Amino acid sequence: MVNDAMDIETAEKNLKQLDHAEQHYFNRQVWKKKKKLCVFFVGGIFANTQPTAITIMEMLKDEVRTRSYMNAIVQNKHIFKDKVVLDVGCGTGILSMFAAKAGAKHVIGVDMSTIIFKAREIVEVNGLSDKITLIQGKMEEITLPFPQVDIIISEWMGYFLLYESMLDTVLYARDKYLVKDGLIFPDKASIYVAGIEDGDYKDEKIGFWDNVYGFNYSPLKETALSEPLVDTVEMKAVVTDPSLVLTLDLYKCTVEDLAFSCPFDLVARRDDFIHALVAWFDIDFTACHKTVRFSTGPHTKYTHWKQTVFYLKDMLTVQQGEKIECSLHNRPNEKNRRDLDIKIEYRLETEDPTRKAEGTCLYKMC
Ligand SMILES: C[S@@+](CC[C@H](N)C(=O)[O-])C[C@H]1O[C@@H](n2cnc3c(N)ncnc32)[C@H](O)[C@@H]1O
């Protein structure tokens, strides 16, 4: 414990030295995934370098997320048996412990947060200290006790898959440590987009700025439009078929693939209005005996990632079967690579000139 207290001090000092973008990411990566910052670990020794217990609980309680990892790992003992496993961004060590339970020869968990000192205690009280080594530090800066690992496990996904995601860190670990023909859990991620009817909410969130106590606040309306909203979307709001805009194969993709442009069509399922596009992602663990898969879409169970809504400037009026030609361009922000600059273009071509619409919207996730 005395050693850990000294380690915590050093870790906190190092974290303060991270450049601004990294600190920003670090302070928000887990915290963003919760509603309120209110409960702190007793003693306050972790200052602002560690997520709160309530944040951690929300992530662990996200059954779709945590159970999918558990099923993918624990139900595939034949894959994990006697393997060296690396858990990138191990947090409290939950995935590391799944891997140890699945028979891994040794698991190395890495996390730059001081949460790792709690993880060490958790691993110890669960009798797994001889199977799991936890290293505090940035994945990109530490050296592993093994030159190579057989399997990488990581929960790296952010909102809209890529916002504040640590996929680049996983790819770094893959290129540096994964043995040839090694496995990655999960190994496939896909982003989908659909059109939604969301008039009431758009009025509340965007229309609000038209009249603020009798004043025209339209300059802030543009800002509001440029900020994608992370929220749950009901399935009944979805007006079009979904379209796939990105698939990442984690064995092959590179950081360059995180900037992408994709043209896609949205076909209306019914006559309705479209106020926004909704995006979500699916995750696959294809290395499993039977692929484990989960979705964060409106059609399925709640996850803490919810969905991401991009309001359009126009309201589109569509008839069943009509097609909206769209394109989505995403790139990491130049100043903070974990923020995103997104552009969506749309064009509704109809024979009815009153319903034709075309536009370009710019969004920032920061
Ligand atoms: C979403 S949490 C996942 C925690 C845990 N694996 C779980 O499933 O509950 C991601 C973790 O990655 C850590 N992290 C992010 N970037 C990192 C990096 N470059 N090096 C080490 N850890 C990092 C964060 O501190 C955070 O604890």
Q: What is the pTM of this model?
A: 0.89
15: exposed, middle or buried (C-beta count within 10 Å: 0-12, 13-18, 19+)? Answer: buried
Judge whether residue 38 has pLDDT over 90.
Answer: no
Other C-beta atoms lying within 10 Å of the C-beta of residue 107: 30
* 17/317 Cα distance (integer angstroms): 52
Residue 17 has pLDDT above 80, yes or no: no
- Overall average pLDDT of the 301-306 stretch: 97
Separation of CA 167 and ligand 1 centre (Å):
10
Catalytic status, residue 164: yes
Q: Which residue has the higher pLDDT, 9 or 206?
A: 206
Output the CA angle 267-273-278, nearest 5 degrees. 65
Q: What pLDDT is attached to residue 4?
A: 59
**Over 70: is that where the pLDDT of 40 sits?**
no
- Ligand 1: nearest atom to the Cα of 154: 6
Ligand 1 nearest-atom number relative to CA 60: 9
Give residue 6's pLDDT. Answer: 58
Q: 138 CB under 6 A from ligand 1?
A: yes
Q: Is 187 in the pocket of ligand 1 (CB under 6 A)?
A: no
pLDDT digits (tens, 9 = 90+) for 153-191: 999 999 999 999 999 999 999 999 999 999 999 999 999
With a 6 A CB cut-off, is 29 part of the ligand 1 pocket?
yes
- What superfamily in CATH does domain 189-365 come from? Hnrnp arginine n-methyltransferase1 (2.70.160.11)
- Cβ(12)–Cβ(115) below 8 Å: no
Checking if the pLDDT of 25 tops 60, the result is no
> Which among 22, 164, 227, 358 is annotated as catalytic?
164
Ligand 1 mean position to 86 CA, how many Å? 12
**Average pLDDT score over residue span 202-215:** 95
Ligand 1 atom nearest the C-alpha of 138 is 20
For 110-129, b/e burial (b = at least 16 CB within 10 A) is bbbbbbbbbbbebbeeeebe
- Residue 16 has a pLDDT of 59
Domain coordinates of the chain in residue numbers?
Answer: 2-185, 189-365
94 lines ligand 1 (CB under 6 A): yes
* 155 labelled catalytic: yes
* Predicted local distance difference test score (pLDDT) of residue 322: 97
Could you tell me the distance, in angstroms and rounded to a whole number, from the CA of residue 156 to the centre of ligand 1? 7
Q: Is 115 in the pocket of ligand 1 (CB under 6 A)?
A: yes
Res 34: pLDDT: 31
pLDDT at 47 over 60: no
Domain 2-185: CATH architecture, name and number where available:
3-Layer(aba) Sandwich (3.40)
Which residues lie closer than 8 Å to 212 by C-beta, 6 or more apart? none
173 lines ligand 1 (CB under 6 A): no
| Residue closest to 79 by CA, chosen among 2, 147, 150, 134 | 150
Calculate how far, in angstroms, residue 284's C-alpha sits from the geometric centre of ligand 1: 19
In the reported structure, the alpha carbon of residue 312 is separated from the centroid of ligand 1 by a whole-number distance in angstroms of: 33
- The answer to whether the CB of 308 falls within 8 A of the CB of 229 is yes
Q: Which residue has the higher pLDDT, 38 or 177?
A: 177
Mean pLDDT, rounded, of the chain: 90
Considering only CA atoms, which residue is closest to atom 12 of ligand 1? 89
**What is residue 43's predicted lDDT score, i.e. its pLDDT?**
26
For residue range 77-100, list pLDDT tens digits in order: 999 999 999 999 999 999 999 999
124-164 confidence digits (pLDDT tens): 999 999 999 999 999 999 999 999 999 999 999 999 999 99
Whether residue 58 has pLDDT greater than 80: yes
The percentage of residues in the chain with a pLDDT greater than 70, rounded to a whole number, is 87
